[in-house]
């Protein structure tokens, strides 16, 4: 039996953030891992996907130069070479940002972990005790209940995994994707740009149904112009083998045959098989760990943070929560995570970025608000670089002008959104954004133009948005 101040189930970004905070406070922490050190983000999620998405954009731009006068400059695609370089990036990052962090105060036990009681965790037969326990086991791709899915081979977002035998090694000629969320959109565009014929099946009326409607509709237009067959209001009821290929059948009887099938219909928590029922830890109907506003579970001394508790699934959110959970668990503080101004992004091209409330959330909360939607063609930087796809939507309180939400599809949206998040964090109004001088021409000017739209006709602005 080994004793630690904090025992953490998992070794992803949430777990590491908590372990590092524990060590900074002078405590000891041990993480457990039954797959690969570092969890989802570095091994099979954010890092490998964004590496290949950026490569796909470079390949796409080389074959379709936006500027008249530039020649097509690409030769043959070496997909295997792309996979090998991606693996090197992942392995290097795992070594630098995860393995190198381990110390005499932060250790890892390899093996499957199960909670025995409020202070005891068993890892492949070895028991460890913690003064406090943190559940940070993350989430995994969800398997939908679709007839025939168990009879055909299919890919999930784990297709980018390094060293676990799940990685896709060859570029498929055609790919059918179930789902129209952020994973489906990111990977669908990536494969299409490498040359795969991509068909996306989404049951709702738009892509990215969790985002503002204007975003999903506009992104579908971008995809269709790139040759992606994005089928919204398309319910898949069955998949069937067709020799070495897969047939996807919808409720209307349509059938699409593809070389490979990618299932991207959401994520489910890694809470099964880790002893939560033995420890008395409550979960919701989907299996996510239930916590209070200080990340405390139903059992004293047991906490949960990151994707395993649901909510906004994102690496920085999990890391932020991990720090708070460690602080509360080890020092008796009563910190509460605040998600009011946490930005999110989808790494399509152009990217999607959002922060704050949506139109629907504003209505649900009974807030009297008004909004403005500005097309990217009115942003000088977008026009100057032939990147006028997309829009920016700003939502503000009607009486005070306080900004409560910003949603953007456009060039560099994932960078611009940080200014909006900071503005919201400090309670800025549309007039505050208008008064802020922005560099010309930049995509950040989109925020100023959206704010100006509350006060004037932005089709009549001078070059510097005045």
Encode pLDDT of 328-347 as tens digits.
999 999 999 998 899 999 99
Going by pLDDT thresholds of 50, 70 and 90, the confidence category of residue 44 is: confident
The answer to whether residue 75 is domain-embedded is: no
Average pLDDT estimate for 347-366:
96
The answer to whether residue 339 is domain-embedded is: no
Q: What is the CATH number of the domain that holds 230?
A: 3.50.50.60
Alpha carbons 416 and 441: distance in angstroms, whole number: 13
- In the chain, how many domains are there? 3
pLDDT, position 458: 96
Are 353 and 308 part of one and the same domain? Answer: no
Judged against a pLDDT cut of 90, whether residue 233 lies above it is answered with yes
Least confident of 37-51, 316-330, 347-361: 37-51
Asked which of 210, 236, 266 is the last residue of a domain, the reply is: 266
The answer to whether residue 425 is domain-embedded is: yes
Going by C-alpha positions, the residue among 163, 200, 170 that lies closest to residue 185 is: 200
Are 312 and 196 part of one and the same domain? Answer: no
What digits encode the pLDDT tens for the residues 127-151? 999 999 999 999 999 999 999 999 9
The answer to whether residue 262 is domain-embedded is: yes
Say what the alpha-carbon torsion angle 383, 190, 83, 344 is, to the nearest 10 degrees.
80
Are 132 and 274 part of one and the same domain? Answer: yes
pLDDT, position 53: 96
CB-CB contact of 186 with 46 (8 Å): no
Are 276 and 299 part of one and the same domain? Answer: yes
Are 162 and 23 part of one and the same domain? Answer: no
Single pTM value for the model: 0.94
The answer to whether residue 63 is domain-embedded is: no
pLDDT, position 165: 56
pLDDT, position 464: 74
Going by pLDDT thresholds of 50, 70 and 90, the confidence category of residue 1 is: low
Are 179 and 205 part of one and the same domain? Answer: yes
The answer to whether residue 223 is domain-embedded is: yes
Alpha carbons 284 and 310: distance in angstroms, whole number: 10
CB-CB contact of 30 with 138 (8 Å): no
Are 439 and 355 part of one and the same domain? Answer: yes
Kindly report the backbone phi and psi dihedral angles of residue 353, in degrees, each rounded to the nearest multiple of 5, phi listed first.
Answer: -145, 145
What digits encode the pLDDT tens for the residues 295-308? 999 999 999 999 99
The answer to whether residue 85 is domain-embedded is: no
Determine the structural domain holding residue 244 and report its residue range.
149-266
What is the C-alpha radius of gyration for the chain, rounded to an integer number of angstroms? Answer: 24
Going by pLDDT thresholds of 50, 70 and 90, the confidence category of residue 163 is: low
């Amino acid at each position: 039996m080994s004793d630690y101040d904090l025992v953490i189930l998992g070794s992803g970004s949430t777990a590491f953030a908590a372990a590092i905070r524990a060590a900074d406070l002078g405590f000891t922490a041990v993480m457990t891992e039954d797959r690969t050190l570092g969890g989802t983000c570095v091994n099979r999620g954010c890092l490998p996907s964004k590496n290949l998405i950026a490569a796909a954009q470079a390949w796409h731009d080389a074959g379709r130069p936006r500027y008249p006068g530039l020649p097509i400059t690409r030769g043959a695609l070496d997909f295997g070479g792309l996979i090998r370089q991606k693996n090197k990036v992942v392995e290097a990052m795992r070594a630098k940002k995860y393995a190198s962090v381990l110390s005499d105060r932060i250790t890892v036990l390899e093996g499957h972990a199960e909670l025995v009681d409020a202070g005891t965790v068993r890892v492949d037969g070895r028991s460890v005790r913690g003064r406090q326990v943190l559940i940070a086991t993350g989430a995994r791709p969800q398997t939908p209940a679709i007839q025939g899915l168990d009879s055909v081979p299919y890919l999930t977002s784990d297709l980018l995994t390094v060293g676990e035998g799940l990685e896709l090694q060859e570029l498929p000629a055609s790919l059918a994707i179930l789902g129209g969320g952020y994973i489906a959109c990111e990977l669908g565009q990536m494969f299409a740009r490498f040359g795969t014929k991509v068909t996306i099946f989404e049951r709702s009326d738009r892509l990215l149904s969790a985002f503002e409607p204007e975003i999903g509709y506009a992104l579908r237009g971008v995809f269709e112009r790139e040759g992606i067959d994005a089928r919204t209001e398309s319910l898949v009821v069955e998949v069937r083998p067709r020799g070495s290929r897969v047939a996807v059948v919808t409720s209307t009887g349509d059938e699409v045959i593809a070389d490979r099938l990618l299932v991207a219909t959401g994520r489910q928590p890694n809470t099964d098989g880790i002893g939560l029922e033995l420890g008395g830890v409550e979960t919701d109907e989907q299996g996510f760990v239930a916590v209070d506003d200080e990340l405390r579970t139903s059992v004293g001394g047991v906490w949960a943070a990151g994707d395993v508790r649901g909510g906004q699934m994102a690496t920085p959110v999990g890391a932020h929560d991990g720090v708070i959970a460690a602080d509360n668990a080890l020092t008796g503080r009563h910190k509460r995570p605040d998600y009011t101004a946490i930005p999110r992004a989808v790494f399509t091209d152009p990217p999607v970025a959002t922060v704050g409330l949506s139109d629907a959330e504003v209505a649900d909360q009974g807030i009297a608000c008004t909004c403005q939607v500005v097309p990217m063609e009115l942003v000088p930087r977008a026009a100057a670089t032939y990147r006028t796809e997309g829009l920016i939507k700003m939502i503000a309180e009607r009486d005070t002008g306080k900004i409560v939400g910003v949603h953007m599809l456009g060039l560099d949206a994932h960078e611009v959104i940080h200014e909006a998040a900071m503005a919201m964090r400090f309670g800025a109004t549309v007039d505050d954004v208008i008064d802020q001088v922005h560099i010309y021409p930049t995509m950040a000017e989109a925020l100023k133009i959206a704010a100006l739209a509350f006060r004037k006709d932005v089709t009549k602005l001078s070059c510097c948005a005045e």
